[in-house]
Chains A and B, each alone.
Chain A
Amino acid sequence: MNEFLLLVEVGIIDGAFLAISAVGFSMQFGVTNYVNFAYASFITFGAYCAYLLDSGPLHANFLVDLVGAAIGTAALSFLIGSFVYTPFARRRPQLLFGLVLTFCMWLILDNLLLGIFGYDYRELTYTSGSASNIGQFGPFQMSPIEGVFLLVAVVTLGSVHGLLRYTRLGRSMRAMSDDHSLALVCGLNTKRIVRLTWIITGVLGGVAGFVQANQLRAFDPGIGDTYIYLVIAAVIVGGIGRPYGAALGALIIGIVSELSVPIIGAALSPVAIFGVLICLMLFRPAGLFGSTGRSQFENA
């Protein structure tokens, strides 16, 4: 029983970390209608931003790394979104070109990062000693650094919730993801909202990359590519374009993959996630919160 509770706890923590990028991916799709495969590269970029600040001549502290990863990735996301994706969408509005474009951008960014940093494994400084003093709380365990990162995740997700629920921008974003044309007709400045969405989801991608870099301990430029399948799986479970669905999906994916470990082994945990996805495709193909229907891409 204690082992079960511990696995659930680890699953919830994994899910909370996963939720950061899943919410970002989903939110960005909802507002901009771009299935942005390059989000994997954004996560990698965030991890390397934090690494450069952490290890370089700067030896910056935790908070600076976090903010640096967020700002750097937000800048990348904004640049790619405004100067590559938006002009392309205006010129070639078909869904097919949009998907091919983001797929290409993913591999271009990935290989640029790979070309710069190579396959060497990197490590954040505060990760190294973290396995030692693990606190025990009843059946639950947590190392201090993990607690700090969990706090980061909770604060990030909480701010996203606050943004979506209580601000004018958040309301406009939700309106845009419900119906693009209607939002435009109602006089929302959709261009501005799209730009801000690129920035906000970039922040989420950067923070997710930083958190994941710490989770993995040692990482290489493949960090985003192996992570993105979990992110997208969580997004699909929740329904693409639904931030709250993505958060729930991330929790489900996190808990399922942890609980599957004692049954089928850690290496086979993708099988459990495939199982979740297959059940979903059979019984609820649009995801838990999603709506069936056509892609809105061509209205964008």
Chain B
Amino acid sequence: MGALAYYGFTIAIYTCLSAIQALGFNLQFGFAGIINLAYVVLVAVGAYSTAIAAVAPAPHGGLTQYIGGFGWPFPWDMLFGIFCTLAFSAVLGGLAFKRLREDYLAVSMIVVGAGLLVLINDDVPIFNGTSGMAGVPGPFQDQLGPEAYQFVFLMMSAVSALLIFLLFSRITKSPFGRALKAVREDSDAAASLGKSPWRLKMSAFLLGGLAAGLSGSLLILYIGAWNTSAWLPQESLIVLAAIIVGGRGNHGGAVLGTFVVIGVITQATKFIPSFGNAVLVASLQVVSIGLLILAFMWWRPQGLLPELKDQYLRVGIKKELSDSGPALPRAVD
């Protein structure tokens, strides 16, 4: 397989997995209004737990040290990864949503993310410190040829992304989705109508966690390795950019935003001349994504595909108007 085809497969798979993350983040951030700027931590939980389920136990007294090492075959390591992410999200959400106000919540998530980063970095025996997990076997990698493997993995990622897209679209169209938006707009008003903000936010957080776990576990199965540099705070910037560019509260927007952001990342490198030190290009990529977010927030905060206004309300009123004549008060607007 040519290098270009391999590059194409990598970009395509990476785009699918980022789209899954963007959809999950959008459910939390766009629909439920949870300002979770450490979303990538959930992805990391999925990746690490998949890794320790998939690989063999760490050799005793060796340089690599990690917990677990169950050596489970493909679907089980992924499912374990997703399960761990859900459990982690449940604990985090259970602690945070009950009593924290919005800005405290955002700050606490950042602290949890940064603290975990320090913890995993310093403490070798958990997930092998800064070197991280490596040698995670991909699904059926030994049974397929290299080209077939790339193709199968791309199909798997694309189908996962599609399933998440359909699932989330269905969920947000349901009464549950409307309740989520109500909580986002005014949680007191929603609570006064009998909707529990805590339960709704928690559900959205768990669904977002599901997407993060799925994406993280597919990521590590594809890359085969994962360390702390894969989930620095700036990795959250990519999903954040996808949502701000694409449009908050719109699943199509999340996917479109992912394409734009991946496009910017891959294309921007061609225009940044390689001078100065080795990390300059990588850091300028992050800077350009940050500026992209700022530009969109300044000029087009609703994103490329704005959130759709729910149509059912207007249809209902029109119908009622035609039924009962013009006597209906104008207040419903």
Q: Report A's interface with B, CB cutoff 8 A.
A: 35, 37, 88, 91-92, 95-97, 99-101, 103-108, 110-112, 114-119, 225-226, 228-229, 232-233, 235-236, 240, 265-268, 270-271, 273-274, 277-278, 281-282, 285-286, 292-295, 297
Contacts and interface: CB of A to CB of B under 8 A. Distances in A.
Contact of A295 (B103, B122, B240, B284): B103
B101 A281 contact: no
A291 B55 CA distance: 48
B294 interface: yes
B33 to A, nearest CB: 7
Contact of B111 (A100, A268, A271, A277): A277
Contacts of A278: 95
A115 B118 contact: no
B107 A232 contact: yes
Given A107-B234, A117-B277, 11 more contacts: A92-B297, A99-B106, A100-B244, A104-B290, A104-B294, A115-B279, A225-B233, A232-B110, A266-B122, A281-B100, A282-B95
B102 interface: yes
A25 to B, nearest CB: 10
B277 A115 contact: yes
A95 B185 CA distance: 12
B234 A111 contact: yes
B96 A107 contact: no
B118 A229 contact: yes
Contact of A277 (B108, B122, B244, B297): B108
Interface residues of B, number: 50
B287 interface: yes
B123 A100 contact: no
A240 B104 contact: yes
A103 B236 CA distance: 10
B114 A226 contact: yes
Contacts of A97: 297, 301
Given A88-B298, A100-B244, A270-B118, A108 B287 contact: yes
Nearest to B237: A107
A281 B115 contact: no
A236 B104 contact: yes
A115 B114 contact: no
Nearest to A233: B111
Contact of A226 (B35, B96, B118, B278): B118
